[in-house]
């Protein structure tokens, strides 16, 4: 997993629960990393371990933590890390979502050690589209949900996300119908 | 080289593949502008002069129609006049020869260029690497930001480390104990002035930093009372690398040092060690003095007759002395930590409680005590079921804190109370007994002196009564004096004499008295000599008291008997009577001082000293006295005396 992701988990925990809580979470997860390099690849098990430890330490379900983290990622981490690139990734929510596949293709080329997820969009209408999420990582759907809700806030639209297909029901990927309505920055 | 296939791109497809293209005619007038370029340069329109918006940057040539053909086949860079951005690509002649087309895209060097030009990533063709370059630049920026963050963190840690180091040095410098910190090679890292002073090192501690301490134990061992033990101790500590605290070392000067050794490990790696030496001579001296004082106090407490109990601030017992345990009838283990208020419950009388003086003192901080007069003494129910009379005082202990507990001092005054009661009765009785003959004598003497004509025989009779009363008075005074002498420890004058003969003398002396009341004195048993070694006068007193009592309490017409015999190594004297007898409940108190058994509902006349004198004398001779009695039938007093007292 991208170091930026782990660092984002650290920032989220530190900003909301304080640095001592983060140190306890790291100790509980057996993670002895003082600084996560943004572009470095870290074992997925480390990220999962940190989320599980945060869940135990903070008494929150892992899904809740992941979703909070997704939203925090979009609103706090990505603007700081990607800056202008994020601003140039799309002027609207659907534009942004449709650029996601290109973005992750480029990331895969630049950092061959990373295994970024693959996205596709389809069925775009005036106020909805279908986002296809392909990943060899399991259990990160709440993270993606948080990202989409964060994007709704970023583009100041009300967003509804329906999980319409999943690997648990026979599909080979996760499918979300994303519906937006203008002026509903939730 | 095989020519590329004719892929037949139409104008729309060219627009998609090269969204930043533009075309111009031979006069350098704009013929077409690509979709994304139009978004980037909104003023760059068809029909406009090319030079209004762009200038040729590389090759660096004037933008003139005649120079365009020479640019064919080489990289061309245009620069936007207004924003100074670059467009990088190449020029191709249009198929109809009407002009030229530029195929390329903007060359941006930082991601913010996109937003500044109103573009987004999607405005670039999929094959265009500019967006990838920007992505790489962004990644580089992230790495750079990471580096800055790491540097900042390191700087903070270094600053913090410096601050900690400064604080540590200041702390160690100001410690009263001597501190020496060495690295793994035993070079000095930190040492303070106190250490230098302790070991007589005439140098500034700062100058010692970096010096090798490998031989320091040998160099300073002469300071210690046991030099080799000092050297060995250091060697073992360094070998074992285990924390040692409170090692006691004695200097030749007599000073006592306490030493700690603390190995320093960081992430499992040995980084050196710390020695800490403290001069504890004053403390040890004070502790010894305290122990001595405590021992003295302990001995004092153990040997005083008053019970002493101390508590903590909550009233739980912290200390008791032997007397307290004896009075309360419990063991130390039963009482330590127990609430004093539950152990020490006082009553003013047999029935009424006395509040809770323990809680009262704990709450108010004001001392409390029972009064000194007898009627203020309290009842105490002991833990083993006795009821005692006590006097007590409770006072708060004031130490360094306001409420450090309290101290209770109390005394069992049950005996004193009893004696006081007896004395009160004695004074009352003696007053009465003394007054009676005096009143009688005064009456007779007044009568005799007031009547000069009184017949001689009447006067003689009256004076006889006066003499009799005087004799009675003298007897009582003698008894009181005798008691007083015994109490004062009068020495016995031992001599051998015939007890039977002595008894006979006394019977003869008392026969007139008994005879006047028709009380016969019988001799019980064989009338044979029984020799005894004793104080004759004291034994005489014993027999007189017993026989006088027997006659006194025997109604007219009754009889009194006395017998003397030998029984083994003892001489036994038994005095019996057919008198009024003694109630069973009075028997245990019969020989107590000042005790007078009720007789027919009233106290018998006398001082209440007679039988206590008897018992005292018998016991002094190593003997015993026993009484058998039945009310209405009479009593028998049996005295057993060793024929030859051991001392």
Question: What is the least distance, in Å, from the CA of B264 to any CA of chain A?
Answer: 21
How distant, in Å, are the alpha carbons of A41, B318, B344 from that of B407? 74, 10, 12
Q: What is the pLDDT of residue B598?
A: 63
Q: Which residue of B has its CA nearest to A81?
A: B142
Total number of domains in chain A: 2
Q: What is the pLDDT of residue B12?
A: 87
A11-25, B316-330, B598-612: segment of lowest average pLDDT: B598-612
Q: What percent of chain B has pLDDT over 90?
A: 41
Helix %, strand %, coil % for chain B, to 5? 45, 25, 30
DSSP code, position B375: G
- Answer yes or no: do A72 and A29 share one domain: no
Q: What is the pLDDT of residue B263?
A: 94
Q: How far apart are CA B595 and CA B592, in angstroms?
A: 6
Q: Do A84 and B145 touch (CB under 8 A)?
A: no
**Mean pLDDT over each residue of chain B, to the nearest integer:** 87
Total number of domains in chain B: 4
Which residues on chain A are in Cβ contact (under 8 Å) with B121? 85, 88-90, 99, 102-103
Given a cut of 90, is residue A123 above it in pLDDT? Answer: yes
- Answer yes or no: do B189 and B277 share one domain: yes
Confirm whether B447 is domain-assigned.
Answer: no
- Answer yes or no: do B246 and B337 share one domain: no
Which residues on chain B are in Cβ contact (under 8 Å) with A81? 142, 145
Nearest CB neighbour to B111, from listed A4, A39, A83:
A83
Confirm whether B140 is domain-assigned.
Answer: no
Given a cut of 60, is residue A184 above it in pLDDT? Answer: no
Q: What is the pLDDT of residues B423-432, one digit of tens each?
A: 777 777 777 7
Q: Tally the residues of chain A.
A: 186
Q: What is the pLDDT of residue B31?
A: 95
Average pLDDT for A105-120: 80
pLDDT, greater one: B429 or A127: A127
Q: How far apart are CA B521 and CA B544, in angstroms?
A: 13
- Answer yes or no: do B585 and B509 share one domain: yes
Given a cut of 60, is residue B322 above it in pLDDT? Answer: yes
- Answer yes or no: do B277 and B310 share one domain: no
Confirm whether B3 is domain-assigned.
Answer: no
Last residue of a domain, one of A25, A43, A60: A60
Confirm whether B165 is domain-assigned.
Answer: no
ipTM over 0.85: no
Structural domain for B595, as ranges: 491-647
Is residue A53 very low, low, confident or very high in pLDDT (cuts 50, 70, 90)?
Answer: very high
Q: How far apart are CA B409 and CA B306, in angstroms?
A: 6
Q: What is the pLDDT of residue B479?
A: 77
| CATH number (domain holding residue A124) | 3.90.1520.10
- Answer yes or no: do A83 and A116 share one domain: yes
Question: What is the least distance, in Å, from the CA of B132 to any CA of chain A?
Answer: 6
Is residue B131 very low, low, confident or very high in pLDDT (cuts 50, 70, 90)?
Answer: confident
How distant, in Å, are the alpha carbons of A70, A118, A120, A132, B439 from that of A165? 20, 16, 14, 9, 132
Is residue A149 very low, low, confident or very high in pLDDT (cuts 50, 70, 90)?
Answer: very high
- Answer yes or no: do B249 and B354 share one domain: no
In this structure, the strands spanning B76-80 and B387-396 are: unpaired
Q: Which residue of A has its CA nearest to B151?
A: A35
- Answer yes or no: do B641 and B522 share one domain: yes
- Answer yes or no: do B508 and B380 share one domain: no
- Answer yes or no: do A85 and A44 share one domain: no
DSSP code, position B2: P
> Mutation test of the interface with chain B: which of A19, A88, A90, choosing the one with the most B Cβ atoms within 10 A?
A88
- Answer yes or no: do A49 and A75 share one domain: no
Query: Token digits for B313?
Result: 């601030």
- Answer yes or no: do A52 and A73 share one domain: no
B/e letters for A5-16, b = 16+ CB within 10 Å, e = fewer, are bbbbbbbbbeee
**CA proximity to B89, closest of B99, B68, B74, B111:** B74
- Answer yes or no: do A131 and A148 share one domain: yes
Q: Tally the residues of chain B.
A: 647
Q: What is the pLDDT of residues B163-198, one digit of tens each?
A: 988 888 888 888 889 999 999 999 999 899 999 988
Q: How far apart are CA B299 and CA B304, in angstroms?
A: 9
With 0-12 / 13-18 / 19 or more C-beta atoms within 10 angstroms meaning exposed / middle / buried, residue B432 is: exposed
- Answer yes or no: do A39 and A108 share one domain: no
| CATH number (domain holding residue B311) | 3.30.450.20
Q: Do A109 and B132 touch (CB under 8 A)?
A: yes
Q: What is the pLDDT of residue A185?
A: 44
Q: How far apart are CA B490 and CA A44, in angstroms?
A: 108
Structural domain for A48, as ranges: 3-60
| CATH number (domain holding residue B632) | 3.30.565.10
Is the four-CA dihedral B189, B194, B200, B206 of positive or negative sign? Answer: positive
Q: What is the pLDDT of residue A186?
A: 40
Q: How far apart are CA A119 and CA A107, in angstroms?
A: 12
Nearest CB neighbour to B119, from listed A39, A88, A95:
A88
**CA proximity to B340, closest of B358, B363, B360:** B358
Q: What is the pLDDT of residue B236?
A: 93
Q: Do A39 and B139 touch (CB under 8 A)?
A: yes
Q: How far apart are CA B324 and CA B309, in angstroms?
A: 7
B102 Rama sector, left if φ>0, alpha if ψ -120 to 50, beta otherwise = beta
Q: What is the pLDDT of residue B376?
A: 80
Q: What is the pLDDT of residue B572?
A: 94
> Mutation test of the interface with chain A: which of B108, B116, B132, B150, choosing the one with the most A Cβ atoms within 10 A?
B132
- Answer yes or no: do A75 and A167 share one domain: yes
Confirm whether B639 is domain-assigned.
Answer: yes
Q: How far apart are CA A58 and CA A65, in angstroms?
A: 9
Nearest CB neighbour to A87, from listed B115, B122, B135:
B115
Question: What is the least distance, in Å, from the CA of A96 to any CA of chain B?
Answer: 9
Given a cut of 50, is residue B601 above it in pLDDT? Answer: no
Given a cut of 90, is residue B120 above it in pLDDT? Answer: no
B329 φ, ψ (degrees, to nearest 5): 70, 45
Which residues on chain B are in Cβ contact (under 8 Å) with A35? 146, 149-150, 153
Q: Which strands, in side-by-side order, build the sheet including B30-33?
A: B30-33, B22-25, B99-107, B86-93, B76-80, B54-58
Q: Do B139 and A89 touch (CB under 8 A)?
A: no
- Name beta bridge partners: B180: B191, B275
Can you tell me whether residue A88 is helix, strand or coil?
A: coil
Last residue of a domain, one of B128, B144, B165: B128
- Answer yes or no: do A75 and A162 share one domain: yes
Last residue of a domain, one of A35, A60, A85: A60
Average pLDDT for B122-130: 88
Q: Do A110 and B120 touch (CB under 8 A)?
A: no
Beta strands in B301-357 (DSSP E): 307-311, 317-320, 346-347
Given a cut of 50, is residue B65 above it in pLDDT? Answer: yes
Q: What is the pLDDT of residue B264?
A: 93
Average pLDDT for B384-388: 88
| 8 A C-beta contact, residue B192 and residue B178 | yes
- Answer yes or no: do A166 and A76 share one domain: yes
Given a cut of 70, is residue B353 above it in pLDDT? Answer: no
Query: Token digits for B5?
Result: 């296939």
- Answer yes or no: do A80 and A102 share one domain: yes
| 8 A C-beta contact, residue B122 and residue B114 | no
Q: Do A95 and B111 touch (CB under 8 A)?
A: no
> Mutation test of the interface with chain B: which of A2, A85, A93, A95, choosing the one with the most B Cβ atoms within 10 A?
A85
Q: Do A95 and B126 touch (CB under 8 A)?
A: no
pLDDT, greater one: B267 or B540: B540
B180-189, B397-406, B581-590: segment of lowest average pLDDT: B397-406
Last residue of a domain, one of B352, B378, B412: B412
Q: Do A110 and B134 touch (CB under 8 A)?
A: no
| 8 A C-beta contact, residue B217 and residue B235 | yes
Confirm whether B472 is domain-assigned.
Answer: no
Is the four-CA dihedral A109, A112, A114, A115 of positive or negative sign? Answer: positive
Q: What is the pLDDT of residues B285-307, one digit of tens each?
A: 999 999 999 889 888 888 888 99
Confirm whether B133 is domain-assigned.
Answer: no
Average pLDDT for B336-349: 86
Average pLDDT for B298-323: 90
B/e letters for B86-114, b = 16+ CB within 10 Å, e = fewer, are bbbbebeeeeeeebbbbbbbbebeebebb
Given a cut of 60, is residue A90 above it in pLDDT? Answer: yes
- Interface of A to B at Cβ within 8 Å reads 4, 34-35, 37-39, 81-85, 87-91, 95, 98-99, 102-103, 106-107, 109-111
Confirm whether B481 is domain-assigned.
Answer: no
The alpha carbon of B376 is separated from its chain's Cα centroid by a whole number of angstroms, namely 34
Nearest CB neighbour to B135, from listed A35, A85, A98:
A85
- Answer yes or no: do A51 and A101 share one domain: no
Q: What is the pLDDT of residue B1?
A: 54
Q: What is the pLDDT of residues B217-232, one digit of tens each?
A: 898 899 999 999 999 9
Nearest CB neighbour to A35, from listed B119, B134, B153:
B153
Q: Which helix (H) or strand (E) holds B211?
A: none
A-B interface: how many C-beta pairs under 8 angstroms? 74
DSSP code, position B490: P
A39-48, A129-138, B477-486: segment of lowest average pLDDT: B477-486
- Answer yes or no: do B97 and B18 share one domain: yes
Q: What is the pLDDT of residues B254-289, one digit of tens each?
A: 999 999 999 999 878 999 999 999 999 999 999 999
| CATH number (domain holding residue B64) | 3.30.450.260
Query: Token digits for B418?
Result: 């009893």
A51-65, B85-99, B512-526, B613-627: segment of lowest average pLDDT: B512-526
Last residue of a domain, one of A13, A37, A60: A60
Is the four-CA dihedral B474, B475, B478, B483 of positive or negative sign? Answer: negative
- Answer yes or no: do B514 and B406 share one domain: no
Which residues on chain B are in Cβ contact (under 8 Å) with A37? 143, 146
Report the half-sphere exposure of B536 (CA within 13 A, side-chain side).
12
Beta strands in B96-219 (DSSP E): 99-107, 178-182, 188-191
Last residue of a domain, one of B389, B412, B435: B412
Greatest alpha-carbon pair distance for chain A in Å reads 48
Give the Cβ contact number of residue A128 at 10 Å: 15
- Answer yes or no: do B119 and B202 share one domain: no
Q: How far apart are CA B246 and CA B461, in angstroms?
A: 100
Q: How far apart are CA A147 and CA A75, in angstroms?
A: 9
Q: Where are the alpha helices (DSSP H) in B453-498?
A: 456-487
- Answer yes or no: do B604 and B513 share one domain: yes
Q: Do B111 and A102 touch (CB under 8 A)?
A: no
Nearest CB neighbour to B112, from listed A84, A91, A103:
A84
């Amino acid at each position: 997993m991208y170091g930026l992701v782990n660092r984002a988990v650290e920032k989220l925990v530190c900003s909301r629960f304080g640095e001592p809580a983060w140190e306890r979470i790291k100790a509980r997860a057996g993670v002895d990393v003082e600084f996560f390099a943004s572009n470095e690849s870290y074992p997925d098990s480390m990220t999962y371990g940190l989320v599980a430890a945060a869940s135990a330490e903070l008494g929150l379900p892992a899904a809740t933590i992941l979703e909070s983290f997704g939203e925090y990622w979009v609103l706090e981490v990505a603007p700081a890390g990607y800056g202008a690139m994020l601003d140039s990734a799309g002027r609207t929510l659907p534009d942004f979502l449709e650029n996601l596949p290109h973005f992750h293709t480029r990331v895969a080329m630049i950092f061959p050690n990373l295994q970024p997820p693959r996205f596709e969009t389809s069925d775009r209408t005036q106020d909805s589209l279908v986002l296809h999420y392909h990943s060899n990582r399991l259990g990160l759907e709440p993270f993606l949900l948080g990202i989409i809700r964060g994007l709704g806030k970023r583009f100041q639209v009300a967003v509804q996300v329906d999980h319409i297909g999943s690997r648990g029901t026979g599909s080979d990927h996760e499918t979300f119908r994303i519906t937006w309505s203008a002026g509903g920055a939730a | 080289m095989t020519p590329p296939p004719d892929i037949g791109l139409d104008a729309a497809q060219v627009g998609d593949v090269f969204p930043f293209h533009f075309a111009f005619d031979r006069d350098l007038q704009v013929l077409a502008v690509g979709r994304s370029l139009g978004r980037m340069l909104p003023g760059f329109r068809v029909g406009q002069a090319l030079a209004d918006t762009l200038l040729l940057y590389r090759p660096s040539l004037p933008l003139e129609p005649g120079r365009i053909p020479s640019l064919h086949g080489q990289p061309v860079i245009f620069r936007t006049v207004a924003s100074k951005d670059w467009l990088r690509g190449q020029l191709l002649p249009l198929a109809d020869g009407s002009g030229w087309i530029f195929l390329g895209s903007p060359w941006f060097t930082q991601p913010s260029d996109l937003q500044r030009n109103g573009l987004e990533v999607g405005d670039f063709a999929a094959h265009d690497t500019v967006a990838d370059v920007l992505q790489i630049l962004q990644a580089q920026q992230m790495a750079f930001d990471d580096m800055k963050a790491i540097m900042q963190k390191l700087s903070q840690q270094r600053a913090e480390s410096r601050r900690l180091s400064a604080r540590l040095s200041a702390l160690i410098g100001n410690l009263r104990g001597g501190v020496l910190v060495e690295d793994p090679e035993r070079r000095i890292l930190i040492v303070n002035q106190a250490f230098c002073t302790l070991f007589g090192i005439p140098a500034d501690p700062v100058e010692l930093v970096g010096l090798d301490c490998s031989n320091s134990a040998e160099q300073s061992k002469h300071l210690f009372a046991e030099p080799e033990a000092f050297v060995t101790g250091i060697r073992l500590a360094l070998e074992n690398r285990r924390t040692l605290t409170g090692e006691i070392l004695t200097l030749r000067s007599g000073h006592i040092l306490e030493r700690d050794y603390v190995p320093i490990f960081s992430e499992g790696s040995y980084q050196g060690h710390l020695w800490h030496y403290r001069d504890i001579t004053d403390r040890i001296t004070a502790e010894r003095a305290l122990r001595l004082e405590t021992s003295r106090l302990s001995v004092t407490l153990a040997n005083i007759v008053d019970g002493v109990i101390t508590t903590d601030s909550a009233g739980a017992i912290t200390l008791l002395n032997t007397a307290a345990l004896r009075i309360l009838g419990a063991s130390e283990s039963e009482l330590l930590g127990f609430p004093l208020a539950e152990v020490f419950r006082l009553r003013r009388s047999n029935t009424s409680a006395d509040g809770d003086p323990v809680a009262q003192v704990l709450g108010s901080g004001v001392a409390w005590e029972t009064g000194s007069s007898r009627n203020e003494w309290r009842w105490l129910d002991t833990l083993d079921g006795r009821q005692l009379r006590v006097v007590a005082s409770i006072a708060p202990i004031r130490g360094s804190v306001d409420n450090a507990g309290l101290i209770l001092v109390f005394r069992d005054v049950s005996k004193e109370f009893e004696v006081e009661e007896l004395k009160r009765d004695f004074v009352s009785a003696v007053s009465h007994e003394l007054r009676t003959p005096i009143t009688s004598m005064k009456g007779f003497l007044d009568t005799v002196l007031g009547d000069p004509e009184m017949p001689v025989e009447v006067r003689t009779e009256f004076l006889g009564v006066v003499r009799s009363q005087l004799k009675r008075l003298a007897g009582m005074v003698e008894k009181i004096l005798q008691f007083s002498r015994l109490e004062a420890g009068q020495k016995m004058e031992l001599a051998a004499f015939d007890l039977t003969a002595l008894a006979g003398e006394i019977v003869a002396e008392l026969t007139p008295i008994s005879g006047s009341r028709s009380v016969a004195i019988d001799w019980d048993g064989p009338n044979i000599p029984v020799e005894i070694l004793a104080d004759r006068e004291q034994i005489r007193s014993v027999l007189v008291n017993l026989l006088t009592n027997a006659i006194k309490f025997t109604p007219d017409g009754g009889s009194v008997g006395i017998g003397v015999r030998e029984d083994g190594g003892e001489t036994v004297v038994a005095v019996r009577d057919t008198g009024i007898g003694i109630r069973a409940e009075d028997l245990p108190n019969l020989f107590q001082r000042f005790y007078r058994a009720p007789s027919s509902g009233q106290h018998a006349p006398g001082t209440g000293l007679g039988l206590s004198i008897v018992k005292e004398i018998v016991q002094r001779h190593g003997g015993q006295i026993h009484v058998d009695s039945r009310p209405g039938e009479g009593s028998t007093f049996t005295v057993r005396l060793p024929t030859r007292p051991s001392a």
